[in-house]
Amino acid sequence: MKKIVGLSLALIMVVGMIGVETFAYFADSETSSGNQLAAGTLDLKTNNVDGVTQTLYATNMSPGATVGPYTIPLRNAGTTDGATLDIGFSYVESDGSPNTVNKTDDAVAALMEVITLDYGGSSLLSSISDINGNGYKDVYDLKNSSLTGLSGIAASATKNFVISVRLRSETGNDFQADGITMTMTFTLKQ
Ligand SMILES: [Ca+2]
Ligand SMILES: [Ca+2]
Ligand SMILES: [Ca+2]
């Protein structure tokens, strides 16, 4: 029997006023306990909490400011080794108010440069292509990349996922109050 266990995390990033201090904190709230456990299971947990949705907030991001690195421990709390891990990224527009000029979610994501993207102590950045051709790896590139078949997590083992993102310093005033909510989904497969 092939069990597949997934977890999602959300990263909310909103561009703030120029010069406003970056405000970032880490919250986690358990919203489901959806993993049905039976003998010989995979059980992926973050921070030892089961079926969790974690949210990382970065509001009032100033141009040039970095959020993170956030370290998210991925623990296989089950009794079966997970052979492979997939990581997926998606985002939706999540603007503040008032928002005089509305930029698209893709435009905002393209200004969020990915500085750190580690899993199990190795950087995944080389697996991300500069799909939009702007010269750096950004959240748009993450969304349109496929990170599948990564090394898995053995039973009772933990691997850390680490991410940090910087708002590009050339971000213009029109981006004020524009933001995205990025969801990172981790799927551990037997
Ligand atoms: Ca917008
Ligand atoms: Ca890019
Ligand atoms: Ca705006």
Task: Read off the pLDDT of residues 51-92 as tens digits, 9 standing for 90 and up.
Answer: 445 667 777 888 998 988 988 888 888 888 999 999 989 899
Taking the centre of ligand 2 as the mean of its atom positions, its distance from the CA of residue 134, in whole angstroms, is: 5
Q: Hey, which residues does 72 pair with through a beta bridge?
A: 161
**CA terminus-to-terminus distance, the chain:** 9
Specify the DSSP element, H or E, that contains 59.
Answer: strand 53-61
Specify the DSSP element, H or E, that contains 107.
Answer: helix 105-110
Taking the centre of ligand 2 as the mean of its atom positions, its distance from the CA of residue 98, in whole angstroms, is: 28
Of the listed ligands, the closest to the CA of 171 is 3
Q: How is residue 123 written in tokens? A: 């950087």
Taking the centre of ligand 2 as the mean of its atom positions, its distance from the CA of residue 101, in whole angstroms, is: 23
Taking the centre of ligand 1 as the mean of its atom positions, its distance from the CA of residue 77, in whole angstroms, is: 39
Of the listed ligands, the closest to the CA of 168 is 2
| CA 75 remoteness from chain centre | 16
Task: Read off the pLDDT of residues 102-125 as tens digits, 9 standing for 90 and up.
Answer: 999 999 999 999 999 999 999 999
Residue 98 CB neighbours (<10 A): 7
As for how many domains the chain has, the answer is: 1
Q: Which domain holds residue 155?
A: 4-189
Task: Read off the pLDDT of residues 155-173 as tens digits, 9 standing for 90 and up.
Answer: 999 999 999 999 999 999 8
Higher pLDDT, 56 or 37: 56
Q: How is residue 105 written in tokens? A: 């979610």
Taking the centre of ligand 1 as the mean of its atom positions, its distance from the CA of residue 124, in whole angstroms, is: 28
Taking the centre of ligand 1 as the mean of its atom positions, its distance from the CA of residue 84, in whole angstroms, is: 35
Taking the centre of ligand 2 as the mean of its atom positions, its distance from the CA of residue 171, in whole angstroms, is: 14
Q: Is the pLDDT confidence value at 47 over 80?
A: no
Global confidence as pTM: 0.82
